[in-house]
Amino acid sequence: MAGKSGRTISNTPDKSLKSRLLCWESMMILLFILVNVLCICISPTYNIRNVFREMPKYLIEMFLLFPMAYILVLGDIDISVGAIVCLSATMASIATNNGVPFLVAAVIAIVVGMLCGLVNGCILTMFTELPPMIVTLATQIIFFGIAEIALGSGGSISLTDTAGYKAISAKIGMVPVVFFVVIVFAVIFTVILSRTTFGRNVYAIGSNRVAAYYSGVPVQRIRLLIFTATGLMAGICALFLTSILYGANTTTGKGFEMDAIAMAVFGGISTSGGKGRLLGGIISGFTIVCLRIGLGQINMHPQLILIILGILLIAAVLVPNISMAFTKKKTA
Amino acid sequence: MRKKLLSMLMCMCLTAALLAGCGSKEDTTASKSADTETAEETTEASNGGYALVTKAAGNPYNEKMAEGFSDVIKELTGTDAIIKHPQAATADAQIEVINSLISQGVSSICIAANDENALQAVLEDAMNAGIKVSCLDSKTNSDSRMTFVNQAGTKEIGTTLMEAILDITGGEGQFAILSATSQATNQNAWIDAMKEAMETDDKYSKLELVEVAYGDDEPQKSTDQTQALLSNYPDLKVICAPTTVGIAAAAKVLQDQKSKVKLTGLGLPSEMAEYIGDDDAHSCPYMYLWNPIDVGRLGAYVSSALVNGEITGAAGESFTAGDMGDYEVVDAGDGGTEVILGAPFKFDPSNIEEWKTVY
């Protein structure tokens, strides 16, 4: 039976060695290795130490990738996450500058993020006919607006006490703390999406929302939960970003949502819902990070790097469609 | 089909590799330090090159700065300078760029900062790695730099602009200021310096500042604000716009309406050439700006002096900047130090033809 995304669904998943080797994720691993080989060839300074040192700035966007993968699988989209990051980072910085201990400031960042996510979720589940793109566009503007008012006339706030933030931007050996945190979250989110009933339900909603509803899947409750979790992850992302920026400003978090969506789509997660695996997204995330670090080290023009990423993204979307056209021709 | 998929992926990678190859050739990659092992092991950075980080790609003012910087570095060291543009005009993007430069083991970084405080962590990392960090055009906080190349002292700009207003009005009358946004730190500092000059010197006593208008550095809003000034103050003699966007917008309004109100301020010669002239047909008798090429050149000399150990960035030190003469490191009043390029440069009908093609 062909689903709405054009793929065939069989009762028993194909688990043969051949299909495993040739799945999208294996291709991504191959590409990841290729990118690293390429970077080592073109840049004499591309080595583990430097990659780990440059990584945190890019890695924090992975916090947004995890929940974004769920949202895309649901067939939804959330473009307000960048603004949530900005608002959370602003609130955490303001709290710290008012003498609040670091742990409390951290909780504030996460709670602010969660509340923002809850707002998105409530609007989208109470008025299910509203398109998520428009709703989150509106909340994006609102969250950025609140953040800009809170930031005041200078448009920038800097931490007066950086002690706690230095702890989370520290390194263990040469590996930054944030790397371990990202890996832990990666495992949790991947296992939930691919190995639990909850994860199955998410795919069911994405494949056919109405059918899922009539099968007893609590569609709106799951959407509310996921949008709130997205806010929470944006709060964590904000915390780590604050530890890098020592504060927040009006451009903090701008464009993060698009980077997260790009990583997910490049990893084979379809924006039309019900398709793709988080593992692919995570590998693609690391691939993009390594590519940007490598190309940055040879002083390539930044816009050229963006063009390359754009081409890769288009290729990632085109390849499955083209290959599908070939299979159709063969079976026809 | 699987084979096709595979081959397609390979093509993709090849394209990426190809593009990467092209990119590295067209950009100035001087920092291919052959001995990477030592570059990463030793805390003292090797002579890995002199880097300039701009505010964003496509900023014409920064491009000219980069030009001056490259010329001097080429002349001093015989190698190309590393000019790095961040992906966007944000501090976030500059952090990525600086991290990359630390990896490359450059000797010095000269940066036009997009945010005063946000770069502190990464610039401290850079200085810990032995890289000499200085700022130009727009500074970071004093903890994240060794010194700052200031294009013009706040006081010099304030007095120069007041002198111009005094001269154009003929000694008395009303004038207004057309600024950028109400939060712009440099604009506010200059306006404050102008007000201070008016208070401290008696010769300005017959001048009256009627309003400070804000055009937000948008051509349309600046145009609207200029028109509002003209209708609100019929006796207005001079508008002073210390912002390049504001002055260009105001110049067009005044010249189109054949207004008697004259204009001065800080503007780009290329944008203002058609408005500068002594007769009634032109709206702006003369204006000022510093020379971005010289800002870049001085930035390069400062970087070089820091790397050679001639200066450490402490107040009171002095160094020679080639044919630009001797400069002194002075206290910047924010806990750090700065090197002041000099008084702003005057553009009048006699030299505008020559400068309008430069920037």
How far apart (Å, rounded) are the C-alpha atoms in residues B299 and B111? 9
Q: Which residue of B has its CA nearest to A21?
A: B2
The nearest CA of chain B is from the CA of A125 a distance in Å of: 34
DSSP A34-52: HHHHHHHHH-TT-SHHHHH
* In the predicted structure, residue A155 carries a pLDDT above the cut 50: yes
Q: What is the pLDDT of residue B24?
A: 42
Q: B150 in helix, strand or coil?
A: strand
The nearest CA of chain B is from the CA of A186 a distance in Å of: 23
Which residues of chain B make contact with A244, given a CB cutoff of 8 A? 95, 121-122
Q: What is the pLDDT of residue A89?
A: 95
Q: Which fold has domain A56-320?
A: ABC transporter involved in vitamin B12 uptake, BtuC (1.10.3470)
Say yes or no: domain B154-289 is CATH 1.10.940.10: no
Q: B39 CB near a chain A CB, below 8 Å?
A: yes
Domain extents in chain B: 44-151+292-342, 154-289
State the alpha helices, DSSP H only, in chain B.
2-26, 36-41, 60-77, 91-104, 120-128, 154-169, 185-200, 219-232, 244-256, 269-272, 292-308, 352-355
How far apart (Å, rounded) are the C-alpha atoms in residues A200 and B110? 53
The nearest CA of chain A is from the CA of B247 a distance in Å of: 24
Which residues of chain B make contact with A144, given a CB cutoff of 8 A? none
Q: Which fold has domain B44-151+292-342?
A: Rossmann fold (3.40.50)
B60: left (phi over 0), alpha (psi -120 to 50) or beta: alpha
* In the predicted structure, residue A48 carries a pLDDT above the cut 60: yes
Q: B32 CB near a chain A CB, below 8 Å?
A: yes
Q: What angle do CA B205, B206, B211 make, to 5 degrees?
A: 95
Are B118 and A291 an interchain contact pair (Cβ–Cβ within 8 Å)?
no
Query: Which two tokens mark B322?
Result: 């080639």
Q: What is the pLDDT of residue B29?
A: 37
| pLDDT of chain B, 359 residues: tens digit per residue | 455 555 555 555 555 554 444 444 333 333 333 333 333 333 333 457 899 998 887 777 788 889 999 999 998 888 889 999 988 888 888 999 999 999 999 999 999 888 888 888 899 999 999 999 999 888 888 888 999 998 877 888 888 899 899 988 888 889 999 988 776 767 888 899 999 988 888 888 888 999 999 888 788 988 999 999 999 999 999 999 988 888 989 989 988 888 888 899 988 888 888 888 888 788 888 888 888 888 899 999 999 999 988 888 888 888 888 888 888 888 887 888 989 888 788 888 888 887 777 77
Which residues of chain A make contact with B183, given a CB cutoff of 8 A? 153-155
How far apart (Å, rounded) are the C-alpha atoms in residues A61 and B101? 21
> Among positive and negative, which fits the CA dihedral A154, A159, A165, A171?
positive
Establish whether domains B44-151+292-342 and B154-289 are of one fold. yes
- Read off the amino acid at residue A166: K
Characterize A92-118 residue by residue with b for buried, 16 or more Cβ atoms within 10 angstroms of its Cβ, and e for exposed. bbbbbeeebebeebbbbbbebbbbbbb
Are B90 and A330 an interchain contact pair (Cβ–Cβ within 8 Å)?
no
Q: Which residue of B has its CA nearest to A156?
A: B115
The nearest CA of chain B is from the CA of A274 a distance in Å of: 22
Q: How confident is the model at residue A13 (pLDDT cuts 50, 70, 90)?
A: low
- Read off the amino acid at residue A124: L
The helix or strand, by DSSP H or E, that contains position A202, with its residue range, turns out to be helix A197-207
Kindly report, residue by residue over A195-226, the tens digit of the pLDDT. 999 999 999 999 999 999 999 999 999 999 99
- Averaged pLDDT of chain A: 89
Which residues of chain A make contact with B182, given a CB cutoff of 8 A? 153
The region of weakest confidence among A95-104, A321-330, B349-358 is: A321-330
The region of weakest confidence among A10-24, A173-187, A274-288, B261-275 is: A10-24
Which residues of chain B make contact with A308, given a CB cutoff of 8 A? 16, 19-20
Q: B180 in helix, strand or coil?
A: coil
Are B121 and A252 an interchain contact pair (Cβ–Cβ within 8 Å)?
no
Choosing among A287, A291, A299, A329, which should be mutated to test the B contact, i.e. which has the most B CBs within 10 A?
A299
Chains A, B: CB contacts within 8 A come to 170
Are B13 and A42 an interchain contact pair (Cβ–Cβ within 8 Å)?
no
Q: What's the rounded mean pLDDT across residues A19-37?
A: 85
Give the C-alpha distances (Å, rounded to integers) separating A112 from A305, B8, B92.
34, 44, 22
Q: What is the pLDDT of residue B245?
A: 85
Which residues of chain B make contact with A46, given a CB cutoff of 8 A? 103
Which residues of chain A make contact with B87, given a CB cutoff of 8 A? 302-303, 305-306
The nearest CA of chain A is from the CA of B271 a distance in Å of: 26
Which residues of chain A make contact with B23, given a CB cutoff of 8 A? 295, 298, 300-301, 304-305
Q: Could you tell me if A69 and A276 are in contact, meaning their C-beta atoms sit under 8 angstroms apart? A: yes
Kindly report, residue by residue over A133-149, the tens digit of the pLDDT. 999 999 999 999 999 99
How far apart (Å, rounded) are the C-alpha atoms in residues B212 and B239? 10
* In the predicted structure, residue A264 carries a pLDDT above the cut 50: yes
The nearest CA of chain B is from the CA of A149 a distance in Å of: 13
Q: B102 CB near a chain A CB, below 8 Å?
A: yes
Are B16 and A311 an interchain contact pair (Cβ–Cβ within 8 Å)?
yes
Are A308 and B19 an interchain contact pair (Cβ–Cβ within 8 Å)?
yes
Q: B40 CB near a chain A CB, below 8 Å?
A: yes
Residue B344 carries which DSSP code? P
Choosing among B3, B4, B9, B59, which should be mutated to test the A contact, i.e. which has the most A CBs within 10 A?
B9
Are B100 and A296 an interchain contact pair (Cβ–Cβ within 8 Å)?
yes
Q: What is the pLDDT of residue B155?
A: 83
Q: What is the pLDDT of residue B14?
A: 53
Supply the pTM of this predicted model: 0.78
Q: What's the rounded mean pLDDT across residues A289-296?
A: 92
Angle subtended by helix axes A256-266 and A62-74, to nearest 10: 60
Q: Report the C-alpha dihedral over residues B70, B72, B78, B83, rounded to 10 degrees.
A: -20
The helix or strand, by DSSP H or E, that contains position A20, with its residue range, turns out to be helix A17-21
Are A153 and B182 an interchain contact pair (Cβ–Cβ within 8 Å)?
yes
Are B9 and A297 an interchain contact pair (Cβ–Cβ within 8 Å)?
no
